[in-house]
Structure formats: C-alpha cells, structure tokens
Amino acid sequence: MAIQDINVGLLANDGTGDDLREAFIKVNQNFDELDLRVAGFTDITAANIGDAGYGVFAQEVSDTFQFRKLLVDPLYSDTMSIRISDDGNNVYFASSTAYTRITDGTTSAVVSPTTFITINGTGAAQATVAGGVAPSITIDSLLSRETTPTLNATLNANSNPITNITSLNDITMSELEQAFEWDFGDLTRNRTSIIDFILKSIDVDFGTNQDVFSPADGTADFGNSNATFDETL
C-alpha cells in the first residue's frame, strides 16, 4: 500500500480537509505500512551470482547493509587506479602495467593494450584480420605467389605428376624432346655385317669420302673372325 496523505484543507477550519477520525485512520494505516516495510527489509538477504569471485555485499548489521570497499592492492599500488565518474554513477578501473603478449614459441612480443600489434606475412604468406562478432586471424601461403621459390630439401612429389614444365636447368622442353626422340629406323632386315647393321639400323651419315684406295694386291686382310652376323629384328 502507498503512504496516504492527510488532507488538511486550504485554510484552517475551512471544512475542506479530512475530519479528525479520517485523518487518524490514515495515520494508523501509514504506521502499519511502515511497520510491514521494516519487517520485510530486515528479512532481506544477499547472495553472489555464480560460484566464482567475491561478493560486494559483506554483511547486514541491524538495519544497515555493509559492502566491501574497492581499494588498490597496497602490494601493487602503482599498477592500478580506481576513479569515480564526475556524476558519481560509475567506477573506473585503470592499470598501468596491463599488457598483451604474443609468442611464436621462441620470441615474445609484449605491448600495452593501447598498442596495435601488426601481423605480417613474408614471401607468399598473407595475414588477414577479421573483426565483427567472431574476430579471427588467418594466415595462408600459396606457392604461386612466390617470386623466387627455393627448396632446402628433396622435393617429394608423392607419386604425383609434375605438369606444365617449360624448362629444366635452362634446357627447354623442345630441346629435351629432341634429345629423347631419336629415330633409329625400322630394324626389320637381315644383317650380314656390322657395317650393314649400322647403316641399316641407325640413320648415321658418314659423309662423302673423296679418297681413292688402290691396294697393291687388291685385297684387304681384316683378320680371322668366327662370328657370323645374321641378325633378324
């Protein structure tokens, strides 16, 4: 129930206010309401929200609620400051030694929260930062972006083909094709001598010999050979 006001009229004894009986009825009802409010107030208890941390409310002594104070830790008094806003509605905490630390496992970068840390990518690697509801850092590396790619170990193609090659050690693919596309002819005839085998099997040009051979006795002795050339391919 709300507290009731007693109507006292506009002027003394003008007959527009509450009579004495009605006025004291309101007085009694107001006291009853206040008594109920005090009884309910003394039954109020406090509890922390969640399981962690310490509650700001400390205890109730008679009709006084006692709260814990917010103080700077005297062991680290130079690391934190507490300030109340000009309108008295906010409490501000500030730390002079808070920092952000990022490490690659070997070297660490330690900076204050107000300092930006730039993430860079070297070579083909690119680093992007996305904000929004789910902020993230993405680092990717594509070999196609490398301008001078090199290897420091043996390349394992894992049984996969390597395609679209233009040269190997400055030897073009057309030169490689010429080197590996020799035509030794169609070996289908009978060969009766090593010379015939060479001439018929391999396209070799021995050139033109203009010399005139005139042996004294018209014969040439190549020695004795027991081999018979009769190769059929």
Spatial CB neighbours of 79, under 8 Å, sequence gap ≥ 6: 73, 95, 96, 97
Query: What is the DSSP code string of 3-60?
Result: PPPP---SSTT-S-S--HHHHHHHHHHHHHHHHHHHHHHHT-----SSSSS--SEEEE
Task: Specify the pLDDT at position 199.
Answer: 67
Please, are residues 110 and 130 in contact by the beta-carbon 8 Å criterion?
A: no
Backbone phi and psi for residue 130, each to the nearest 5 degrees, phi listed first: -115, 130
Q: What ranges do the domains of the chain cover?
A: 70-120
Task: Specify the pLDDT at position 40.
Answer: 56
* Structure token digits, residue 94: 């500030």
In this prediction, what percent of the chain has a pLDDT beyond 90? 8
pTM across the whole model: 0.33
Q: Which residues pair with 93 in a beta bridge?
A: 82
Over the stretch 84-140, which tens digit does the pLDDT of each residue have?
Answer: 999 989 999 888 778 888 888 898 888 887 788 888 888 788 888 898 888 898 888
Q: What is the rounded CA–CA span in Å between residue 171 and residue 33? A: 104
Question: Minimum mean pLDDT among 52-56, 87-91, 155-159: which range?
Answer: 52-56
Highest mean pLDDT (candidates 13-27, 28-42, 109-123): 13-27
Task: Specify the pLDDT at position 96.
Answer: 79
Over the stretch 160-216, which tens digit does the pLDDT of each residue have?
Answer: 988 888 888 888 878 877 776 666 556 555 666 676 666 666 665 656 656 555 555
pLDDT at 142 over 70: yes
Q: Is the model more confident about 212 or about 233?
A: 212
Q: What is the rounded CA–CA span in Å between residue 211 and residue 192? A: 26
